[in-house]
Structure formats: C-alpha cells, structure tokens
Amino acid sequence: DTAVSQTPKYLVTQMGNDKSIKCEQNLGHDTMYWYKQDSKKFLKIMFSYNNKELIINETVPNRFSPKSPDKAHLNLHINSLELGDSAVYFCASSQDLTHYGYTFGSGTRLTVV
C-alpha cells in the first residue's frame, strides 16, 4: 500500500487554466506538506497543515491555495497557471519530524504550456 499518494503523476495544461493536485496519506500522520522542486532540484516548502490547520504558509502567490478536508488529505489548487509554475510538486507527511523526518509522495510533474 502506498503511504503517501499523489494524483495525477503528470499534468500538462495551458497558461491561465486552473488545476488541482490531490494528496492522501494512510500513515495516520498529523502533519502534511506541499513542496515545490524546481528544475535545479531545489526544494521549497509551500504549505504545512497540522490536523487540518494551516501552520506554514510560505511566500507563494495567492493563486496557490491548499485545502485539507481531513488530516489524511491535503490538496493543492492552482488558479491562472503561469509558465513559471512548471515544476515537480511533492506532498509529504510526518508524525514526529525530529525523529522520523518526512514520508514523501512520488511527485506531480506540472508542465504549463
């Protein structure tokens, strides 16, 4: 069973469209995250939710909006997509960050054309 699953794995869309990426974890973790990885592999945290409550909201355009319907799900909605949004987006979860770190999903490669 996949611990952290993201859908879709690939997403190709035109500029200006609105799209969503879904993430689910079956580990019982309290905290979930969204990261963006650029073409140089640099990882940037975007959001973090703990038990459905937003706890980290880094400087990202407000076109990006996370939604957590329950603690097992954290979705990412992106409005008015731009070319610069092309990247790989990773979902992750953790229970005890200091001792166990993250469990990552396999990523969603978003390409905006």
Partner 1 sequence: GNSVTQMEGPVTLSEEAFLTINCTYTATGYPSLFWYVQYPGEGLQLLLKATKADDKGSNKGFEATYRKETTSFHLEKGSVQVSDSAVYFCALGRNQFYFGTGTSLTVIP
- Match 């939710």 to its residue by tokens: 49
The CB-of-96 to partner 1 minimum distance in angstroms stands at 9
Compare residues 51 and 80 and give the one whose CB is closer to partner 1. Answer: 51
- What are the backbone dihedrals phi and psi of residue 100, each rounded to the nearest 5 degrees, phi first? -120, -10
- Cα 85 vs. chain centroid, distance in angstroms? 13
Percent of the chain as helix, strand, coil, to the nearest 5: 5, 55, 40
Question: Which of residues 27, 67, 86, 102 is near partner 1 by CB under 8 A?
Answer: 102
Q: Is residue 14 close enough to count as binding partner 1 by CB under 8 A?
A: no
Binding mask 75-94 for partner 1 (x = CB under 8 A): ---------------x-x--
- Quick one: DSSP state of residue 84? G
Q: Is residue 97 close enough to count as binding partner 1 by CB under 8 A?
A: yes
Question: Which of residues 39, 41, 59, 83 is near partner 1 by CB under 8 A?
Answer: 41
